[in-house]
Amino acid sequence: MFTNGISEIKFMLNKEKQKAVCLSFQNIGEYVKNISEELKDLYSDVEWVEIYGFRNIVAHEYSKIKMSQVWQMVQEDLPHLKSDIENILRNL
């Protein structure tokens, strides 16, 4: 959403987009925290611990985040997470 149609270079130069994306990752982590352990166990291939762990980094260690890694996560990890979540919702 925040990165649709922009290049990595534009993302790297746009602090507002960086903050918006990081806040979105933080929100995703908060949502993950509220998912039942039973559902997490049922879909153990989803990296629940890592998702919440990144939430903690965004919330408490923002200055240590490398935006190149955030860009990579947006491009590579989020599409997989979206697919996983869509699959989970279809099966509920």
DSSP the chain: --STT--HHHHHH-HHHHHHHHHHHHHHHHHHHTS-HHHHHHTTTS-HHHHHHHHHHHHH-GGG--HHHHHHIIIIIHHHHHHHHHHHHHH-
Residues 84 and 46: beta-carbon distance below 8 Å: yes
pTM above 0.75, yes or no: yes
Express each pLDDT in 62-74 by its tens digit. 899 999 999 999 9
Q: What pLDDT is recorded for position 30?
A: 96
Q: Are 32 and 48 in contact (CB under 8 A)?
A: yes
Q: How confident is the model at residue 53 (pLDDT cuts 50, 70, 90)?
A: very high
> Both ends of the chain: CA-CA distance in Å?
25
The residues annotated as belonging to the active site are: 55, 60
Domain ranges of the chain: 15-91
